[in-house]
Amino acid sequence: MVEKRLEARVEVIEARTRVAGSPYYAINPSGRVPYLVRDDGVGMEGSELICEYLDRIDGTPAFAPPSGEQGLELRRLEASARSMMDGLTVWGRELRHRPEEERSPTILEHEHERERSRRMADLWEKEIDHPLMRGPFNLAQVTLACALLYESQILRSPWREGHPKLAAWLDEMARRPSVAATIPPGGL
């Protein structure tokens, strides 16, 4: 939204998820966010689709993946960043929403996710030099920045240790006005 300067056209409403009887379920039965209700009343779910819709709304898409090999490369990187983010939100859910005694005693989910996130940080420490991660702003970069910020701010994970290139990349990314404007309170 900020990248495309659509703040005045899109109303942001906080939804209550994972709560029995939330009024949000009448809007989006899946109960997941993000969800965008278009001007014609039709709703759409999922960050990838919503980003593409908002990107096209002014007729000059800035984030459309290039065609051919480069497009596949970009989607490969984005899928990897999204996979990291999906694991982190499972970890965050375990930590933030479940009372201690309800946490899975055998498969300590957050240990599993912590290990996954370590492997993913190792992978990204190498992959971050990919030209598409250093070139013009794209959705692979957005998704990775969201994942790393979530890991720092919500999970308070020490992922920066041993990943200096990734840490420097995120610091650079956080200087971009749209990223800076949407960092939740609490800093980097």
Ligand X SMILES: N[C@@H](CCC(=O)N[C@@H](CS)C(=O)NCC(=O)O)C(=O)O
Residues 69-128 that bind ligand X (CB under 6 A): 89
Which residue, 52 or 73, has its beta carbon nearer to ligand X?
A: 52
Let me know: does 179 contact 173? Beta carbons within 8 Å. yes
Select from 45-53, 128-136, 151-159, 168-176 the region that touches ligand X (CB under 6 A). Answer: 45-53
Kindly tell me which residue out of 46, 114, 130, 154 binds ligand X, with binding defined by CB under 6 A.
46
Kindly tell me which residue out of 8, 11, 14, 18 binds ligand X, with binding defined by CB under 6 A.
18
Q: How far is the CB of 49 from ligand X (least distance, A)?
A: 8
**What is the rounded CA–CA span in Å between residue 1 and residue 178?**
9
Tokens at residue 57, please? 């709304």
Q: Does 47 bind ligand X (CB under 6 A)?
A: yes
Total chain residues near ligand X (CB under 6 A): 10
Kindly tell me which residue out of 1, 22, 31, 116 binds ligand X, with binding defined by CB under 6 A.
31
Select from 1-9, 42-50, 109-117, 177-185 the region that touches ligand X (CB under 6 A). Answer: 42-50
**Per-residue contact flags (x/-) with ligand X for residues 149 to 188, judged by CB under 6 A:** ----------------------------------------
Q: How far is the CB of 30 from ligand X (least distance, A)?
A: 7
**DSSP sequence for the chain:** -TTTT-TTT--------SSTT-GGGGT-TT--S-EEE-TTS-EEE-HHHHHHHHHHTTS--SSPPPSHHHHHHHHHHHHHHHHHHHHHHHHHHHHHHS-GGGS-SSS-HHHHHHHHHHHHHHHHHHHTTSHHHHSS--HHHHHHHHHHHHHHHTS---TTTT-HHHHHHHHHHTTSHHHHHTPPTT--
Please give the residue ranges that form the binding site for ligand X (CB under 6 A).
17-18, 31-34, 46-48, 89
